[in-house]
Amino acid sequence: MLSNEPLWFAIVAAVFAVYAVLDGFVFGAGILYLFIARTDAERQLVLKAIGPVWKGNEVWLVAGGGLLFLAFPKAFASGFSGFYLALNLVLWCVILRGVSIAVRSHLDNPLWRTFWDAIFALSSLLLALIFGVALGNLIRGVPLSADGQFFAALWTTFTPGPTPGILDWFTVLVGALSVTILAVHGAHFLIIKTESAVHDRASRIAHTGVWTVMLLAMVAISLAPSVQPTLWHRYDAHPVGFVLPLIAVVAGATTLACRRHGWDGAVFLSWSLFILGLFGSVAWGLFPNLLMATGNPAYSLTIHNSAASPDGLQLGLVWFPIGISLVMTYTLWVYLSFRGKVARSPVEEHY
């Protein structure tokens, strides 16, 4: 019987990639929030654009974490303990983002609203940065010991090596790339959801941001093999994987072409495909590793030495299609129900 482990690797990677696309534009809208929306009416408009979908988008993060625990419990346990500080920061940022959206309108006071607006923007920025840094850690590797556990300080020498910290120049570079990609993603979303001043500012930021992303992406891609040679070895052994970065390149070029023609919906979709292509490219390079060891490669956690039992994986494949079908149906229904431009209502709404 064929092993289900590669299939589960693909499933977990796909769910996290979809989360990056769906909640990514909410992060991006938050990152740009204070720059794009300058009056209270404009900020209400931005919040109304993301209001119906931001909570549902987080379901994909929960689903990804649950599936990772189901399929690869040892990697789940090692990652959550090793990245304890970073995950606590994620938790607080998620909480503060939700609270800021919910309570900013509870008092009709400019200082109150400005404070929570700043919290919303800061938490969105930190979430995009932390997730990008986390991806950088997965690419670079972590200081795993023989028992499959690790502890990563916030930083050590700020350079990749046998005992790196969470932050070094490479992981910060990937974090900056993540922030820029999602900021552009958020701008593209606001372009198709808003009009007037917010739309115009989002369009200008997106135009500049796309070129910034391309520059940072080329730098990160050129440096990644020197930080983690395993990535290139995977592509060298299985060249079919080059179709994934090719998808990202074509999607990026399509974004630029669609922008010139003013096809805002196509721009958003092509940029979403660009994100999926980059995410898939990283996943292909990492496979079959889940957590790579920066010291002894034998200590790395792979889909083979960290997977659940074959019976558990097989049983999961019975229930997974049912659960993910419900999530996909709900997500599709919400986006179709709230499609089109948003306009400021006479009475401010709460989300």
Output the average pLDDT for the chain: 92
Examine the pLDDT at 271 and tell me if it is beyond 70: yes
pLDDT tens digits along 102-138: 999 888 899 999 999 999 999 999 999 999 999 999 9
More confident site: 161 or 171: 171
* Cα–Cα dist 301/289, whole Å: 6
The per-residue b/e assignment along 6-16, b for 16 or more CB within 10 angstroms, e otherwise, is: eebbebbbbbb
CB 53 within 8 Å of CB 23:
no
Please report which confidence band the pLDDT of residue 350 belongs to, taking 50, 70 and 90 as the band edges: very low
Is the Cβ–Cβ distance between 19 and 57 less than 8 Å? yes
Distance CA 320, CA 314 (A): 10
pLDDT-derived band of residue 3, with 50, 70 and 90 as boundaries?
A: confident
Contacts of 63 (CB under 8 A, 6+ apart): 15, 19, 323, 324, 327
pLDDT at 346 over 80: no
Interval 210-241: pLDDT, tens:
999 999 999 999 999 889 988 888 898 999 99
Residue range 273-301, pLDDT digits in tens = 999 999 999 999 999 999 999 988 899 99
The model's pTM is: 0.93
Structure tokens given for 348: 């401010």
H or E segment to which residue 257 belongs = helix 243-261
Alpha-carbon dihedral of residues 163, 167, 171, 175, nearest 10 degrees? 160
**pLDDT 10s digits, 14-30:** 999 999 999 999 999 99
DSSP 155: B
